[in-house]
Amino acid sequence: MGKSDVIYDVVTANLTQILNSSVAGEGESSRSGLMEFSDWYANIHGYVSILVCVFGIIANFMNIVVLTQKNMVSPTNYLLTALAIADMLTMTSYVPFALYFNCLSTQDPEENHALGWVIYMLFHTCFTITSHTIAMYLTVALAVFRYIVVCHHTHGPRMCNMQRTRLTIILVIIITIIFCIPNYIMYIPAKYSTAGGYWIERTSLVTDFQRNFYYWLFGVALKVAPCVLLSVLSTLLIRAMRTAAAKRRKLKSSGRHDDSERNSEHNRTTVMLVAIVICFVITELPQGVLAFLSGINMRIFEEVYTPLGDVFDILVLVNSSVNFLLYCIMSKQFRGTFCRVFCSWHSRDKQLNGVYSCASTKTTGTQL
DSSP string, 212-265: HHHHHHHHIIIIIHHHHHHHHHHHHHHHHHHHHHHHHHHHHHTT-HHHHHHHHH
Instruction: Specify the pLDDT at position 355.
Output: 38
User: 56 lies in which domain range?
Assistant: 10-323
In a domain, 163, yes or no: yes
Q: Are residues 264 and 348 in the same domain?
A: no
Q: How many angstroms separate the CA atoms of 248 and 267, rounded?
A: 10
- Do the domain assignments include residue 296? yes
Residues 30, 122 share a domain: yes
In this structure, the answer to whether residues 203 and 282 fall within a common structural domain is yes
Query: Within a domain: residue 1?
Result: no
Residue 3 within a domain: no
- Say whether both 313 and 351 belong to one domain: no
Residues 6+ apart with CB under 8 A from 242: none
Question: Distance between CA atoms of 129 and 182, rounded to whole angstroms?
Answer: 11
Structure letter (DSSP) for residue 100: I
Tell me what pLDDT residue 282 has.
Answer: 85
230 shares its domain with 364: no
Question: What gap in Å lies between CA 118 and CA 101, rounded to an integer?
Answer: 10
In a domain, 2, yes or no: no
What total number of domains does the chain contain?
2
- Residue 115: in which H helix or E strand, if any? helix 115-151
Shared-domain flag, residues 234 and 353: no
CATH of the domain at 98: 1.20.1070.10
What tens-digit pLDDT sequence spans the chain (368 residues)? 334 433 334 444 443 343 333 333 444 445 678 888 888 898 999 999 999 999 999 999 999 999 999 999 899 899 999 999 999 999 999 999 999 999 999 888 888 899 999 999 999 999 998 999 899 999 999 988 888 887 777 777 788 889 999 999 999 999 999 888 888 888 889 988 777 889 988 887 777 777 777 767 766 777 778 888 888 888 888 887 777 667 766 766 665 555 545 555 666 777 888 888 888 888 888 887 777 777 677 788 778 888 888 888 899 899 999 999 888 888 888 999 999 998 865 555 454 444 333 444 444 444 55
DSSP state of 107: S
| Residue 5, in any domain of the structure | no
pLDDT at residue 266, as a whole number: 64
Pair 245, 358 in one domain: no
Same domain, 151 and 59: yes
Considering the domain architecture, whether residues 197 and 279 belong to the same structural domain is answered as: yes
In a domain, 188, yes or no: yes
Q: What is the pTM of this model?
A: 0.80
Q: How far is Cα of residue 201 from the mean position of the Cα atoms in its chain?
A: 28
Per-residue model confidence (pLDDT) at position 83: 95
Distance CA(198)–CA(110), nearest Å, equals: 9
- Residues 17, 152 share a domain: yes
Do both 95 and 72 map to the same domain?
yes
In a domain, 161, yes or no: yes
**Strand, coil or helix: 90:** helix
359 and 307, same structural domain? Answer: no
Residue 31: its pLDDT value, please? 63
**HSE (CB half, 13 Å, CA atoms) of 263?**
19
